[in-house]
């Protein structure tokens, strides 16, 4: 979403870098270019003015004009100004003690913003934090809305309210369930779902509300009825970042009526201009808490202003990269593999396991954007099919061939190429890559053979997931 803005900012920084010293005229020229870039990115004009004034006032300070590396100082100034606009403090979703009852999180927003999918993503995020979640739908207007949430719940092994069928539930829970399915209003469903959550000791109830094509009084009144009688801990407005300034206007309308506690921006992996993400905190006065970076359930991440600023400036986001890597890998399995590989070298089974871990982290392009210095490579057409091709070659091998690459003669290679839909030359290339990795491992092992601990630490640095 921010590729175009990032490219233009990089161009500005390169122009500044070409000067031995920065003058007042140089800074004004750079600031003028940044202003145009922000306006073209659909950033709110008030936010643009605040941002530019902030950058210009700092950049014209004596420390910048006298700096031996003024371009680096200027980049830091722009980075700090971006963080201020995006919201300096990260406000996490707080889960209260179960003794005080379940934490109630209500997702609100217009139809099509991605509320139902976001409810599933948020549930998975909290589930990874060892929280017991109940998903609840009060969208009685959109056909199959409840069924959609049930499908998401089933894929995550989560309960979804209203429940479907009597199943194996006890009589007291069945009575709650039936009460919610007799045509009651949204408030009744919410009350029943909270009662159900208490009975099953759920930590969190996530309420997926009904959306409309536009903000209307009936919609707001329904939500006000709930918030007036139920203590809702979080009201999160789900905004489609692709809608630009409209998302900000919608958020303002909801905030005026409900006093929302935060914002979830969806579809930040799209190709829109991104102005909503840069404007919404300042205009609404409420923090962005989560961002949706893809269609998969795993593609929801907490929002950090400093990390987002780094991405926009093309400096990567190594902290997010490490977090994704940690989630994707099985630490115990990785340690066990590290010890074995240092003694016997890698085989194709090890390589296949590494590729599977990488795939869990997301596309190659999205991963490379997080690594400092690799953002420009990510903008090129990164071929995610390359991993699939390597995986196809390895899975076309027999178990003994994966363990012993040396037995791969010409006839075996032809069979593998035919089975994987590749050429023998591509099979040879993959075999050579494995041989090269093992040569490096052999050198490291020879150099540090006196210490198994050092061996493991060194291995972590060269394995794809380490």
Beta bridge partners of 234: 105
* Distance from chain centroid for Cα 231: 29
pLDDT in tens, 294-316: 888 988 988 888 888 877 776 65
Give the rounded percent of residues in the chain with a pLDDT score beyond 90. Answer: 24
Q: Confirm whether 42 is domain-assigned.
A: yes
Does residue 454 form part of some domain? yes
Position 428 scores a pLDDT of 92
Tell me which DSSP letter residue 92 carries. P
Q: H helices of 230-299, where?
A: 245-258, 275-284
Query: What is d(CA 121, CA 137) in angstroms, rounded to the nearest whole number?
Result: 15
Residue 277 located in a structural domain: yes
User: What would the DSSP string read from start to end of 431-448?
Assistant: HHHHHHHHHHHHHHHHHS
Give the residue numbers spanning the domain of 133.
Answer: 98-304
The reply to whether 341 and 225 lie within a common domain is no
Whole-number pLDDT of residue 153: 92
Residues 342 and 438 in one domain: yes
Distances (CA, A) of 3 to 6, 25, 43, 62: 5, 27, 15, 32
pLDDT of 203 reads: 93
Q: How far is it, in rounded angstroms, from Cα 188 to Cα 194?
A: 10
Which segments of the chain have a pLDDT < 50?
166-184, 318, 372, 374, 377-378, 380-381, 450-466
CATH (domain of 39): 1.20.120.140
pTM equals 0.68
Does residue 318 form part of some domain? Answer: no
Give 377-384's long-range contacts (Cβ < 8 A, gap of 24+).
Answer: 379/3, 379/7
Task: Please state, in angstroms and rounded to a whole number, the distance separating the CA atoms of residues 438 and 343.
Answer: 11
pLDDT at 165: 52
Instruction: Yes or no: say if 133 and 206 are a contact pair by the CB < 8 Å rule.
Output: yes
- How far is 189 from 177, CA to CA, in rounded Å? 9
The residue among 59, 86, 113 that closes a domain is 86
In a domain, 91, yes or no: no
Distance from the first to the final alpha carbon of the chain: 28
Domain assignment of residue 422, yes or no: yes
Residues 219 and 331 in one domain: no
46, 61, 86: which is the final residue of a domain? 86
Query: Looking at the domain assignment, is residue 92 inside a domain?
Result: no
Does residue 356 come out as left (phi exceeding 0), alpha (psi in the -120 to 50 range) or beta? Answer: alpha
Residue among 394, 233, 356, 276 at smallest CA distance from 5: 276
Same structural domain for residues 136 and 63?
A: no
Could you tell me if 181 and 109 lie in one domain?
yes
Q: How far apart are CA 459 and CA 184, in angstroms?
A: 60
Kindly state whether residues 141 and 226 are assigned to the same domain.
yes
> 105 and 81, same structural domain?
no
Taking the C-alpha atoms of residue 351 and residue 286, their distance in angstroms, rounded to an integer, is 45
pLDDT the model gives residue 435? 85
Tally of structural domains, the chain: 3
**Residue 297: CATH number of its domain:** 3.40.50.300
What's the CA angle centered on 109, arms 108 and 110, to 5 degrees?
Answer: 145
Closest CA to 356 of 462, 271, 464: 464
Asked whether residue 359 falls in the same domain as residue 455, the answer is: yes
What pLDDT was estimated at residue 363? 61
pLDDT digits (tens, 9 = 90+) for 410-431: 999 999 999 999 999 999 988 9
Q: Are residues 291 and 336 in the same domain?
A: no
On whether residue 21 sits in a domain, the answer given is yes
End-of-domain residue from the set 304, 338, 365: 304
Token pair for residue 79? 């980075």
With contact defined as beta carbons under 8 Å apart, do 135 and 204 qualify? no
Q: Counting Cβ atoms within 10 Å, is residue 192 exposed (0-12), middle (13-18) or buried (19+)?
A: buried
Specify whether 61 is located in the same domain as 32.
Answer: yes
* 79 plus 117 within the same structural domain: no
Residue 109 token pair: 């927003």
Q: Which helix (H) or strand (E) holds 290?
A: strand 288-292
Instruction: Kindly state whether residues 103 and 82 are assigned to the same domain.
Output: no
Q: CATH number of the domain that 439 lies in? A: 1.10.260.30
């Amino acid at each position: 979403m921010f590729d175009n803005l990032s490219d233009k900012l990089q161009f500005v920084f390169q122009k500044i870098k070409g000067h031995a010293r920065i003058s007042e005229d140089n800074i004004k020229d750079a600031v003028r270019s940044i202003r145009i870039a922000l306006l073209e990115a659909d950033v709110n004009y008030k936010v643009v003015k605040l941002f530019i004034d902030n950058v210009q006032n700092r950049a014209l300070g004596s420390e910048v004009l006298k700096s031996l590396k003024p371009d680096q100082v200027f980049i830091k100034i722009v980075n700090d100004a971006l963080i201020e606009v995006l919201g300096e403090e990260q406000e996490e979703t707080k889960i209260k003690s179960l003794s005080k009852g379940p934490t109630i999180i209500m997702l609100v927003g217009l139809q099509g913003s991605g509320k139902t999918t976001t409810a599933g993503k948020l549930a998975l995020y909290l589930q990874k934090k060892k929280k017991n979640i109940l998903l609840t739908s009060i969208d009685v207007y959109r056909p199959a809305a409840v069924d959609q949430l049930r499908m998401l719940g089933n894929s995550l092994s989560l309960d979804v309210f209203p429940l479907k069928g009597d199943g194996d539930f006890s009589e007291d829970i069945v009575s709650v369930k039936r009460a919610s399915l007799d045509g009651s209003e949204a408030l009744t469903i919410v009350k029943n779902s909270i009662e159900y959550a208490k009975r099953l000791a759920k930590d969190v109830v996530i309420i997926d509300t009904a959306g409309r094509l536009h903000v209307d009084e009936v919609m707001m009144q329904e939500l006000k009825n709930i918030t007036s009688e139920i203590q809702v801990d979080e009201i999160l407005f789900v905004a489609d970042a692709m809608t630009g300034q409209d998302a900000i206007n919608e958020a303002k309308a909801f905030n005026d009526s409900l006093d929302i506690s935060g914002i979830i921006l969806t579809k930040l992996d799209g190709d829109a201009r991104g102005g909503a993400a840069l404007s919404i905190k300042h205009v609404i006065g409420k923090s962005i808490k989560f961002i949706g970076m893809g269609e998969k359930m795993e593609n929801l991440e907490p929002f950090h202003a400093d990390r987002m600023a780094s991405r926009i400036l093309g400096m990567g986001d190594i902290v997010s990269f490490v977090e994704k890597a940690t989630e994707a890998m099985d630490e115990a399995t990785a340690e066990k593999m590290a010890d074995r590989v240092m003694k016997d070298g890698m085989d194709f089974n090890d390589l296949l396991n590494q590729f599977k871990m990488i795939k869990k982290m997301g596309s190659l392009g999205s991963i490379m954007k997080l690594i400092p210095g690799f953002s420009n490579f990510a903008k090129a057409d990164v071929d995610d099919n390359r991993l699939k091709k390597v995986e196809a070659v390895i899975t076309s091998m027999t178990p003994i061939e994966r363990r012993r690459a040396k037995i791969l003669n010409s006839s075996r290679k032809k069979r593998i190429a035919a089975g994987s839909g590749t050429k023998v030359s591509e099979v040879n290339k993959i075999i050579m890559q494995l041989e090269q990795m093992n040569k490096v491992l052999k050198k490291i092992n020879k150099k540090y053979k006196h210490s198994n601990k050092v061996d493991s630490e060194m291995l972590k640095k060269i394995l794809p997931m380490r």
